[in-house]
């Protein structure tokens, strides 16, 4: 299983956002939607061996985590609006301490990065890390930040974690996922 | 200069489409919007050395070509809706035989693939091509298809062209661009 987690520092935690304003009042939800796209989509196929966690840290709070499971997900199309509609639906159901399914393969629970890090051994994808092409083994679970850097508090949580870079330029989170998956595809083929 | 051209087989040629239905009535304009994103965006920067040609082949016709120039483009954000709004604006101005600027760095003209191929020496990005990592030199101009394969007529136009692949899996056009640009970044660094 490959796992990605993306911290959405401003991504709203209420399902009242407009699908017509993902980059604005939804707190750059568009960034997270593109990470869903790059985590799952192949040409005319889905990556069934991927799980993607979206950590929503925006208003009104508290933090929530939305999980997309490639093995189960349905009704997902590549466009931003499609994954945003599934996130909006997840945010509209009662949110408890354990993952609850909102639509097939999409789940939501309370809690954010600290809780997820206690459950899954993540590595960090970060421009200052070791080049993935030179890595003897690739991490199975990768944490990324959205358009903002990790906060000081988040940096404390991930201190000492392995860090990997996908190349010489600093890329958007979704592009980083695409490049890493390409390296994984090559090693598996 | 790096150049990408993407054939949008169903992408509408009228500016009346809705920004709320890019994947539907706009003829999968979302695919082309993601190609704009992957062609230009770096983390907190734009790739100024890229040009991206969108070949719109959908209703009502005739074919039109929209050009985004990284060195000049303004008002472009990463979300699909942002590039779609610039395409819609381009489609709303009178369209002649030569490129006319609709917003800074965005141009439109009549004509499609045949005309563009006569002007620029493209290579084709295609899962059956030679692996880019093994290529002694990378192509400076790359042609891709959207979610549909090249038509028989298009295949005739590109017969004999160099073909390159980015890996063992068949990827979406925008992901293909991301992986190729990563390889280019590595060679330039």
- Distance from the Cα of B38 to chain A's closest Cα (Å) equals 7
Percent of chain A with pLDDT over 70: 100
The per-residue pLDDT for A133 is: 98
Chain A residues with CB inside 8 Å of B75's CB?
none
Task: Specify which residues B49 forms β-bridges with.
Answer: none
Q: Is A128 an 8 Å CB contact of chain B?
A: no
Which runs of E-coded beta strand occur in chain B? Answer: 2-8, 41-42, 45-46, 50-56, 64-69, 100-103, 106-110, 123-131, 141-145, 163-165
Which residue is closest to B33 within chain A, CA to CA? Answer: A79
CB contact under 8 A, B172 and A81: no
Q: Which pLDDT tens digit goes with each residue over B70-111? A: 999 999 999 999 999 999 999 999 999 999 999 999 999 999
Domain positions in chain A = 1-189
Q: Which pLDDT tens digit goes with each residue over A115-173? A: 999 999 999 999 889 999 999 999 999 999 999 999 999 999 999 999 999 999 999 99
Helix, strand or coil, per DSSP, at residue B178 = helix
The per-residue pLDDT for A183 is: 98
Cα–Cα–Cα angle for B90, B181, A39, rounded to 5 degrees: 90
The per-residue pLDDT for A182 is: 98
Q: Specify the CATH class of A1-189 in words.
A: alpha beta
Q: Which pLDDT tens digit goes with each residue over A47-60? A: 999 999 999 999 99
Virtual CA dihedral for A76, A176, B7, A24, nearest 10 degrees? 60
Which residue is closest to B147 within chain A, CA to CA? Answer: A43
């Amino acid at each position: 299983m490959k796992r990605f987690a993306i911290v959405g520092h401003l991504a709203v935690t209420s399902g009242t956002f407009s699908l017509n304003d993902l980059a604005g009042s939804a707190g750059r939800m568009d960034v997270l939607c593109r990470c869903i796209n790059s985590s799952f989509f192949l040409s005319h196929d889905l990556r069934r061996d991927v799980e993607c966690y979206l950590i929503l840290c925006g208003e009104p709070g508290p933090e929530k985590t939305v999980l997309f499971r490639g093995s189960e997900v349905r009704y997902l199309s590549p466009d931003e609006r499609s994954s945003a509609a599934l996130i909006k639906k997840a945010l509209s159901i009662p949110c408890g301490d354990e993952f609850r399914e909102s639509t097939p393969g999409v789940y939501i629970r309370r809690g954010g990065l600290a809780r997820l890090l206690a459950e899954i051994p993540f590595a960090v994808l970060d421009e200052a890390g070791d080049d993935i092409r030179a890595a003897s083994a690739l991490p199975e679970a990768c944490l990324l930040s959205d358009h903002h850097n990790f906060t000081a508090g988040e940096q404390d949580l991930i201190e000492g974690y392995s860090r990997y870079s996908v190349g010489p330029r600093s890329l958007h989170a979704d592009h980083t996922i695409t490049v890493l998956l390409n390296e994984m595809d090559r090693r598996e083929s």
